[in-house]
A and B are shown apart, each in its own frame.
Chain A
């Protein structure tokens, strides 16, 4: 299996993982602390924001939960970007560049964490951001899948 195909296979998996995180958020926690988390009714980022609006979850819990995933998500995405860069997959790297830049900018301004005191004021922004990211990861997923297949075919 050629490197390209391997890389894009990895990309597909990562994108799927990120997608999953966006929608179905606390799964990783659940995997880790399977014993503790009995109330496995909680849900992904998108759903959580809606829950907040409907008052099913309080903002402190929400932020505590979501904040655990902010950096891992950014890291995963940045790592993928770095891999594409190293491999020389310029198009894929270019695709990822805006989000990486956006994340870096957020971290440097110290705005990347969800703030329980401001969450209601910024909820609409967060939600919008969340949906855009969802769409982006979905796009990535199919793009990587396509590139993987192309690479496999080219190899064959």
Chain B
């Protein structure tokens, strides 16, 4: 599509008001609208529209059109549709689309909109299915979204109707002229028809029915459940908001029945949604499925549905047919709603397990578990119930912990293991409270009611008594570390966080090593008043200068430690040493804690260049973007791997905080956290003189120190007979085929486990049990057990209907990163696309039964409808994108994040959130039922960016505020306290706190974004000016994944590509 010949342009009436086009593409050029058709959207207005009276509820941005008239270049008339907006499209960034193609762009946008909109009309709204959800987002029709198009000072709640009338009148004129001018009947009837044919044909060689379905709106709605499909024909003038739309809902529902499950399914779900809110025991199965699936991305933002483990499958090709239902509570002995673990702890890519390996292979769906066993608790989360009487019933044979899915037999004397079906004795303590000697009710026991429980483990589960937490700080004090202010900030942060370090038992130990070309140890004996520095310049064969007093008790030596931290910034302030012996320092740190285990926290600014594990600056810009790039993404020195293995063995974990002014070889240094279950933080270009940098680092570092970690942990995953774990992804060391070793368990890290089926499964359900044996930082040995129970199915459609797109995306991210590191990034990207094409193909062949060959639609079940867009997000992600501009460090960091982030963080990281600020609804930014209300999300495309607009984009790691060139000075004044647009400076900023509602709202939104997700990350705020620094602008624009960037496809292009591939590839029938 990119090669659209400009020849399609002349079809565009040349005299169209340039203002009308100033927004990029998607608006249907109104000139093409057949006369008499109502305008696409009443709210769709242009700049030239006479302003409506401002409603008082909202700050009037932009106040009047004179003031903010976007500076359009004369003569940029039509092609400017694109160029005008995002300013001249950055070189190769987003080539201007010929207007003929572009307008129909928002493809996904089109599709699911109707159900979604209808949904919003239903009174009982499920919290998860809120319109703010991406499906809704994706689902936005151009017209829908243009409701938020900024223009005249109009309240968001303003009267659309009167405005619509006005619009209609105004639009008649150009329409008539257009027709007269073009004298093309085609243009008048099927606006999609001629235009697109001309535009698309040269690109594809064939006329795709997709583009050319004049008047066949009925068929087109097949796209409904597939946001993906560029449903150009849907750009038909009678768009949703048009009066005709409402009445057509019923008709559409009928269409769905021809189409496959998606739409009809969804519509029905909506009807029962209110029921589903009551809880899992209701008899409603559609509703829950919807909440789980179509609410998709937004589910992660909000609270995950409590009915996590539910699997409701429906025969997808028969929306009217009866639904088959499997529920886990049939398998559970208690009717507890918590019998299945919440999805935020553990979820499966398919919420039903195929009965045979052949079926799994045929379906092409990957079967994997995404586990975040030690996730932190947010406000409102229930704590994990603890079984503290140390009665731990386990199966004698397979060592499974007792869980809600076992069965009691022989009058409750024995229990039958749900994994291997062995009969085990029930411990007597189940019926008798050993402390009070009273009879107890076994049904009240937490392990029989909760899928996720924590057992307090007796001494049999300990190799040695739980060790005190030990923290060794290795601080780089070479020139660049001191100059950037890292040392001072770190010292300050540690000092401030001393009380936050887990130390309830007063056992916590700390040690400090500073390192440049030699090692400095500190004697922190509590008897001393001043810390003593011990210098070791022998770095090839490290020894500890003092046997004790280096690793000291935090409570006892508190005053010395404080004295040390206060002095530290000044100690090295005049250093000129540019060398760093990190490897040797780590060996020393390892010697300090190797007996008891602990945590080494490295703050590294210079590339380690002397001593053990010295590295060379190996980055070569010529290699970026080539197949050789992989070598740069792998460890340069074997030391870091072998050392990590040693650490893992001695229960020592390493965390890395890397501050890169220059190349810092993130790829090699992050090896240590990878195999010791640590965490890596990366601060490129860190400079503490910028408060934003210092704040981000201090916040994340402080959170890292305060983390209630687990120690000396192992994870074992058991599953029912016939199922085997095949491979593991994440930060840990695989000690055995089913045992993962984690010297420390950080909060909110996610692990991905691939599952294989070895034998045919004969049982109706299967269980997966993850046991995390760890010592808490309070000196208690505990076992956290997470059990999920999934139904077994032998139907392909049920498999597809219960697939979980977010878990799938997580799995794909993990696989892609692995592939990218072992093979090539190209292969990684291909693998992702191939996988999704496979899924689409199988869905088409086996579920829709449409055989190979061309079909007008690209269809996927409703619960997978976001998979293509998430795929695109992955393809364009910093970690995987085809580009020669991404420095290795950044890429390596992005890959690391992709691998370790829990789903809640990962999804926005792949598919960022875009809000428009200048025209947000009145309630946005104010405290509502669920905390601060966020504005509605926009699709990630440059079309959404108005030149006079102000947008906020966030991906959990960074927040960008984009300010258009034509922004009103009043907005600059209110938001940034700067008089004009010219006065704004791009880059990292802190938003001032001003006494006006707009600023306060935006500050509230940013505050909410910073704290609404789990994890220690503190998103940094960037101000991006539309004509500001090109690098920053390109960086921002690279997040708009639905557009074409560099040489990576846009969303409609990707779908077209997938569609072509699906057509070509023959999938064997059953």
Q: Is B649 an interface residue (CB 8 A)?
A: yes
Q: How many whole Å from A56's CB to the nearest CB in chain B?
A: 9
How many Å lie between the Cα of A121 and that of B822 in the bound state?
11
**Is the CB–CB distance between A55 and B649 below 8 Å?**
no
Q: A60-B645, A60-B649 are in contact. Are A117 and B739 (CB under 8 A)?
A: no
Q: How many whole Å from B834's CB to the nearest CB in chain A?
A: 20
Among candidates A55, A115, A117, residue contacting B736 with C-beta atoms closer than 8 Å: A55
Chain A residues 119-142 with CB under 8 Å of chain B are 119-121
Q: Is A73 an interface residue (CB 8 A)?
A: no
Stretch at the interface among B570-578, B683-691, B698-706, B727-735: B727-735
**Is the CB–CB distance between B641 and A117 below 8 Å?**
yes
**Is the CB–CB distance between A117 and B735 below 8 Å?**
no
**Is the CB–CB distance between B737 and A117 below 8 Å?**
no
Q: A115-B641, A121-B727 are in contact. Are A58 and B735 (CB under 8 A)?
A: yes
Q: What chain B residues lie within 8 Å of A85 (beta carbons)?
A: none
How many Å lie between the Cα of A115 and that of B645 in the bound state?
10
Q: What chain B residues lie within 8 Å of A53 (beta carbons)?
A: 737
How many Å lie between the Cα of A52 and that of B737 in the bound state?
8
Q: What chain A residues lie within 8 Å of B735 (beta carbons)?
A: 58-59
**Is the CB–CB distance between A117 and B727 below 8 Å?**
no
Residue of B nearest to A117 (CB): B675
How many Å lie between the Cα of A88 and that of B675 in the bound state?
49
Q: Is B82 an interface residue (CB 8 A)?
A: no
How many Å lie between the Cα of A115 and that of B635 in the bound state?
13
**Is the CB–CB distance between B675 and A55 below 8 Å?**
no
Q: Is A116 an interface residue (CB 8 A)?
A: yes
Chain B residues 706-744 with CB under 8 Å of chain A are 727-728, 733-739
Chain B residues 670-693 with CB under 8 Å of chain A are 675
Q: A60-B645, A60-B649, A115-B641 are in contact. Are A120 and B739 (CB under 8 A)?
A: no
Chain A residues 1-60 with CB under 8 Å of chain B are 52-53, 55, 58-60
Q: What chain B residues lie within 8 Å of A55 (beta carbons)?
A: 736-739
Q: Is B644 an interface residue (CB 8 A)?
A: yes
Q: What chain B residues lie within 8 Å of A52 (beta carbons)?
A: 736-737
Among candidates A59, A117, A121, residue contacting B644 with C-beta atoms closer than 8 Å: A117
Q: What chain B residues lie within 8 Å of A120 (beta carbons)?
A: 727-728, 734, 737
How many Å lie between the Cα of A113 and that of B675 in the bound state?
18
Q: How many whole Å from B366's CB to the nearest CB in chain A?
A: 16
Residue of A nearest to B818 (CB): A121
**Is the CB–CB distance between B644 and A58 below 8 Å?**
no
Q: How many whole Å from B111's CB to the nearest CB in chain A?
A: 39
Residue of A nearest to B727 (CB): A121
**Is the CB–CB distance between A59 and B734 below 8 Å?**
yes
Of the candidates A55, A60, A113, A119, the one having the most CB atoms from chain B within 10 angstroms of its own CB is: A60
Q: How many whole Å from A120's CB to the nearest CB in chain B?
A: 5
Chain B residues 607-650 with CB under 8 Å of chain A are 638, 641, 644-645, 649
Residue of A nearest to B646 (CB): A60
How many Å lie between the Cα of A52 and that of B739 in the bound state?
12
Q: What chain A residues lie within 8 Å of B641 (beta carbons)?
A: 115, 117
Q: What chain A residues lie within 8 Å of B734 (beta carbons)?
A: 59, 117, 119-120
How many Å lie between the Cα of A116 and that of B645 in the bound state?
8
User: What is the interface residue range for chain B against chain A?
Assistant: 10 to 19
Q: What chain B residues lie within 8 Å of A59 (beta carbons)?
A: 734-736
Of the candidates B641, B675, B736, the one having the most CB atoms from chain A within 10 angstroms of its own CB is: B736
**Is the CB–CB distance between B727 and A58 below 8 Å?**
no
How many Å lie between the Cα of A120 and that of B638 in the bound state?
18
Residue of A nearest to B674 (CB): A117
How many Å lie between the Cα of A148 and that of B118 in the bound state?
87
Q: What chain B residues lie within 8 Å of A121 (beta carbons)?
A: 727
For A59-72 the 0/1 string (1 means CB < 8 A from B) is 11000000000000
Of the candidates B644, B728, B733, the one having the most CB atoms from chain A within 10 angstroms of its own CB is: B733
Residue of A nearest to B641 (CB): A117
How many Å lie between the Cα of A148 and that of B739 in the bound state?
50
How many Å lie between the Cα of A64 and that of B738 in the bound state?
21
For A78-115 the 0/1 string (1 means CB < 8 A from B) is 00000000000000000000000000000000000101
How many Å lie between the Cα of A116 and that of B641 in the bound state?
9
Q: What chain B residues lie within 8 Å of A117 (beta carbons)?
A: 641, 644-645, 675, 733-734
Q: How many whole Å from B489's CB to the nearest CB in chain A?
A: 33
For B644-664 the 0/1 string (1 means CB < 8 A from A) is 110001000000000000000
Q: How many whole Å from A104's CB to the nearest CB in chain B?
A: 19
Chain B residues 726-772 with CB under 8 Å of chain A are 727-728, 733-739
How many Å lie between the Cα of A100 and that of B737 in the bound state?
32
Q: What chain A residues lie within 8 Å of B733 (beta carbons)?
A: 116-117
Q: How many whole Å from A54's CB to the nearest CB in chain B?
A: 8
Q: What chain A residues lie within 8 Å of B728 (beta carbons)?
A: 120
Residue of A nearest to B738 (CB): A55
How many Å lie between the Cα of A117 and that of B649 in the bound state?
12
Chain B residues 385-433 with CB under 8 Å of chain A are none
How many Å lie between the Cα of A120 and that of B739 in the bound state?
11
Of the candidates A55, A113, A119, the one having the most CB atoms from chain B within 10 angstroms of its own CB is: A55
Among candidates B638, B675, B736, B738, residue contacting A58 with C-beta atoms closer than 8 Å: B736
How many Å lie between the Cα of A20 and that of B634 in the bound state?
35
Q: What chain A residues lie within 8 Å of B649 (beta carbons)?
A: 60
Q: How many whole Å from B194's CB to the nearest CB in chain A?
A: 55
How many Å lie between the Cα of A74 and that of B884 in the bound state?
39
How many Å lie between the Cα of A125 and that of B763 in the bound state?
33
Q: What chain A residues lie within 8 Å of B727 (beta carbons)?
A: 120-121
How many Å lie between the Cα of A117 and that of B641 in the bound state?
8
How many Å lie between the Cα of A115 and that of B642 in the bound state?
9
How many Å lie between the Cα of A68 and that of B738 in the bound state?
26
How many Å lie between the Cα of A51 and that of B644 in the bound state?
23
How many Å lie between the Cα of A69 and that of B865 in the bound state?
53
How many Å lie between the Cα of A150 and that of B886 in the bound state?
64
Q: How many whole Å from B19's CB to the nearest CB in chain A?
A: 58
Q: How many whole Å from B703's CB to the nearest CB in chain A?
A: 28
How many Å lie between the Cα of A53 and that of B724 in the bound state?
12
Q: How many whole Å from A70's CB to the nearest CB in chain B?
A: 14
Q: How many whole Å from B268's CB to the nearest CB in chain A?
A: 44
How many Å lie between the Cα of A55 and that of B738 in the bound state?
9
How many Å lie between the Cα of A86 and that of B638 in the bound state?
37
Q: What chain B residues lie within 8 Å of A119 (beta carbons)?
A: 734
How many Å lie between the Cα of A60 and that of B644 in the bound state?
11
Q: How many whole Å from A106's CB to the nearest CB in chain B?
A: 15
How many Å lie between the Cα of A59 and that of B737 in the bound state?
10
Q: How many whole Å from B821's CB to the nearest CB in chain A?
A: 10
Q: What chain B residues lie within 8 Å of A58 (beta carbons)?
A: 735-736
Chain B residues 877-929 with CB under 8 Å of chain A are none
Q: What chain A residues lie within 8 Å of B645 (beta carbons)?
A: 60, 116-117
How many Å lie between the Cα of A123 and that of B675 in the bound state?
18
How many Å lie between the Cα of A26 and that of B1041 in the bound state?
56
Residue of B nearest to A110 (CB): B638
How many Å lie between the Cα of A55 and that of B645 in the bound state?
18
Q: How many whole Å from A21's CB to the nearest CB in chain B?
A: 24
How many Å lie between the Cα of A86 and that of B979 in the bound state?
86
Residue of A nearest to B645 (CB): A116
Of the candidates A52, A55, A59, A116, the one having the most CB atoms from chain B within 10 angstroms of its own CB is: A116
Q: How many whole Å from B200's CB to the nearest CB in chain A?
A: 44
How many Å lie between the Cα of A59 and that of B734 in the bound state?
8
Q: What chain A residues lie within 8 Å of B644 (beta carbons)?
A: 117
Could you write out 26 A-B pairs with CB less than 8 Å apart?
A: A52-B736, A53-B737, A55-B737, A55-B739, A58-B735, A58-B736, A59-B734, A59-B735, A59-B736, A60-B645, A60-B649, A113-B638, A116-B645, A116-B733, A117-B641, A117-B644, A117-B645, A117-B675, A117-B733, A117-B734, A119-B734, A120-B727, A120-B728, A120-B734, A120-B737, A121-B727
User: Given contacts A53-B737, A115-B641, could you give 12 more A-B pairs where the C-beta distance is less than 8 Å?
Assistant: A52-B736, A55-B736, A55-B738, A55-B739, A58-B735, A58-B736, A59-B735, A117-B641, A117-B733, A119-B734, A120-B727, A121-B727
Interface residues in chain B, defined as those with a beta carbon under 8 Å from any beta carbon in chain A: 638, 641, 644-645, 649, 675, 727-728, 733-739
Closest 5 CB pairs of A and B: A55-B736, A120-B734, A116-B645, A117-B675, A60-B645
